[in-house]
Amino acid sequence: MTATHVDGVLVVGDEPTVTPMKTNSGKKTVVWEQTRTLRLEDGRTVYGCQHCDYTSPNQYSVRPHLMKHNRRRPHSAHVPSAANMTLANLLETATQIDKLTTDMEAWKARALDAEDKLRALRAQTR
Ligand SMILES: [Zn+2]
């Protein structure tokens, strides 16, 4: 479960983390549900893991941390098995996977495009 205290200070706000990235359409901001933006009682903001009490002052530290949950506990409690899911849950999950796949393909295309541009730039500077 997400941390309720950080260094003994009460967490008073827990929201998904809004990133500087945009979705494929460029209209919506990408939000990381599993990286929690935690507002503390003393006014500080830290970033926490949705699945345990891990926190960090750096939002980008939470992403690699999340991998631990996937590697160590592939069938952990927070990932319900298909047998326990309702059809609505399954459809929602399938939609999420579809969206992630689309995102991944878009990022891959951008990376390849960037590589091409970099290659072209390097060719120009020779
Ligand atoms: Zn965690």
Domains of the chain, by residue range, sit at 1-79, 80-126
Distance 69 CA to ligand 1 centre (A): 6
Q: What is the pLDDT of residues 16-68, one digit of tens each?
A: 999 888 888 888 888 999 999 999 999 999 999 999 999 999 999 999 999 99
Distance 78 CA to ligand 1 centre (A): 11
Distance 73 CA to ligand 1 centre (A): 11
Distance 123 CA to ligand 1 centre (A): 45
- Predicted confidence at residue 33, as pLDDT, reads 94
- Predicted confidence at residue 77, as pLDDT, reads 54
Q: What is the pLDDT of residues 58-108, one digit of tens each?
A: 999 999 999 999 865 555 555 566 677 788 888 888 889 988 998 898 999
- Predicted confidence at residue 53, as pLDDT, reads 96
- Predicted confidence at residue 93, as pLDDT, reads 87
In the chain, the amino acid numbered 50 is: Q
Distance 74 CA to ligand 1 centre (A): 13
B/e letters for 98-123, b = 16+ CB within 10 Å, e = fewer, are eeeeeeeeeeeeeeeeeeeeeeeeee
- Predicted confidence at residue 20, as pLDDT, reads 85
- Predicted confidence at residue 62, as pLDDT, reads 95
Distance 93 CA to ligand 1 centre (A): 21
Helix (H, G, I), strand (E, B) or coil at 126: coil
